[in-house]
A = this chain, B = another copy of it.
Amino acid sequence: VKNFFDLKSLFSDDLSAVNSVISNSLSSKEHLVQEVGSYLIQSGGKRIRPILTLLFSKICGYSGDKHILLASAVELIHVATLLHDDVIDESSTRRNKPTANFTWGNKASILVGDFLFSQSFKLMVKSESVAALQSLSNASSTIAEGEVMQLARLYQNRMISIDEYEEIAKAKTAALFSASTHVGAIIANQHFDIQEACKEFGAILGLIFQITDDMLDYFSDPSKSGKNLGDDLAQGSITAPVIIAYNKANSEDKKKIEDIFFGNDRGSKFEEIKSILVQYDTESLITNYVDAHYKKALTTIPSIPHSAELTPYLYQILDYARSRNG
């Protein structure tokens, strides 16, 4: 059985090329830039976005070398976003390691984030594909808009609907997944409908990815997932598991959820919230919710060029996204 992680070995040459483009992008006379940048890049991550660009350019029949530049650009946008996110969320650890803002301070994180973001644009420009630039620059501004949306909801101190949640998740997460698959089809000069199918696959995958991410914040083993439990609660960020349990809850439990989220010591109420989530069987509810998106993603696959070697991975990636534990 093929596994998502097999893609890493399948694309190992391309991924080394991506890694070296990224290292070159981090090189700077200024030691602090290199230090922060390298720390982030080396602290790993799954490289799922650049792998998507490599996979979709190959499945769409692309044979040049722009995919390396664009896959690198996509990862740099992602890393730049993480740097700013950790400042916004006041996070002190990510993947069991201290965050850059914790180590070098918020100012360095903001500025190095800006630098990485600019470097990603330089790589896109180097690809000389105006359509790819369009897709990725749209994604970048959608991401920023999604982050502002999320912040604005926090300031509003109110329960949000699942539609509002999806709007944020689509903007802050799915947009970049979507651009990652889209640019693969773009540089391969695929027909518009095929480009759209690739884009849609990426968008749904990204949404599923965000939903499972938000589940892992309540239901995961931190030693395996590398995540802190309860970060979203501590930040007051209302995510799918909470909304879905809230919608099922009786009025007493609804009030409990509100009191906790809009009260002053959310941070200490993790077990309380979690027991409500368990009580309403949120894990099954989320599984059903994700399944609906999963099925929608499957419908895009017939419109994506078929490859005996690569098409099976499309299913594997979706399976990975919905059942991952870290």
Instruction: List residues of chain A with CB under 8 Å of any chain B CB.
Output: 28-33, 84, 87-88, 106-108, 110-112, 114-115, 117-119, 121-122, 124-125, 128, 130, 133-134, 137-138, 140-141, 143-145, 147-149, 151-152, 155
Contacts and interface: CB of A to CB of B under 8 A. Distances in A.
Contact of A121 (B84, B112, B140): B140
A192 to B, nearest CB: 18
A115 B30 contact: no
Given A125-B134, A138-B122, A114 B111 contact: no
22 contacts: A28-B148, A30-B152, A32-B155, A33-B148, A84-B110, A84-B114, A88-B107, A108-B148, A108-B151, A111-B147, A114-B140, A115-B145, A115-B148, A117-B144, A118-B137, A118-B141, A121-B137, A121-B140, A122-B138, A124-B137, A125-B130, A125-B133
A234 to B, nearest CB: 15
Contacts of A137: 118, 121-122, 124-125
Contacts of A107: 87-88, 151
Nearest to A88: B107
A124 B124 CA distance: 12
A28 B147 CA distance: 13
Nearest to A123: B137
Dominant SS among interface residues on chain A: helix
Contact of A144 (B111, B134, B149, B155): B111
The CB with the most chain B CB atoms within 10 A, among A106, A108, A125, is that of A125
Nearest to A112: B148
Nearest to A135: B125
Given A30-B152, A130-B128, A152-B32, A114 B117 contact: yes
Given A108-B148, A115-B144, A122-B134, 19 more contacts: A28-B148, A30-B152, A31-B152, A32-B151, A32-B155, A87-B107, A107-B151, A111-B144, A111-B151, A112-B144, A114-B140, A115-B148, A118-B143, A118-B144, A119-B141, A121-B121, A121-B140, A122-B138, A125-B133
The CB with the most chain B CB atoms within 10 A, among A28, A114, A149, is that of A114
A249 to B, nearest CB: 29
Contact of A32 (B29, B88, B115, B148): B148
A32 B145 CA distance: 10
Nearest to A115: B144
B115 A88 contact: no
Sort A-B residue pairs by CB-CB distance and give the 4 closest, nearest first. Answer: A118-B141, A115-B144, A118-B140, A114-B144
A121 B144 CA distance: 13
A152 to B, nearest CB: 5
A114 B107 CA distance: 15
A110 B144 CA distance: 9
